Amino acid sequence: MELNGALSNPRVQVELKRLGTTRDRLATRAKKAPRHARPLTMRQGVVLETVTLVLEHAEGPMRARAIHRRAEQLLGQGVRWPSVREAVSAHTIGLDRRFRRLERGMYELSKDSRG
């Protein structure tokens, strides 16, 4: 579409006016309460290695929530629950079957992974 046609379209004029109003409103809100960037989350490889270490030192099978708590204690900082859940879940299937799922939410290190 040519620029001529786009600018002569009455609907575009209305949309541009609304867009300008929205931009002004958001700029005002940003000045009143600026948002700060969130800190970077932990890389999945670090979470996976920590979960593996937790299960290596466990005396038996562990619940996923207990693995999460122990991983946080081991690292000395918060670990996102979805990252831990994804690590144990993804590594019970596929080529790297590092963990074995015994029942819903209960995991242990697989027999092949034990040194």
The one-digit pLDDT tens for each residue of the chain (115 residues) are 566 666 677 777 777 888 889 999 999 998 898 888 766 667 878 999 999 999 999 999 999 999 999 999 999 999 999 999 999 988 998 888 899 999 999 999 987 765 5
User: In this structure, is residue 9 part of a structural domain?
Assistant: yes
Q: Got the DSSP string for 96-109?
A: ---EEEEETTEEEE
- In this structure, the number of other CB atoms found within 10 A of the CB of residue 63 comes to 13
Give yes or no: residues 28 and 50 share one domain: no
User: In this structure, is residue 38 part of a structural domain?
Assistant: no
Structure-token match 């019970």, residue found: 92
Distance of CA 51 to the CA centre of its chain: 16
User: In this structure, is residue 89 part of a structural domain?
Assistant: yes
Angstrom distance (rounded) from CA 100 to CA 102:
6
Domain count across the chain = 2
User: In this structure, is residue 27 part of a structural domain?
Assistant: yes
Give yes or no: residues 9 and 57 share one domain: no
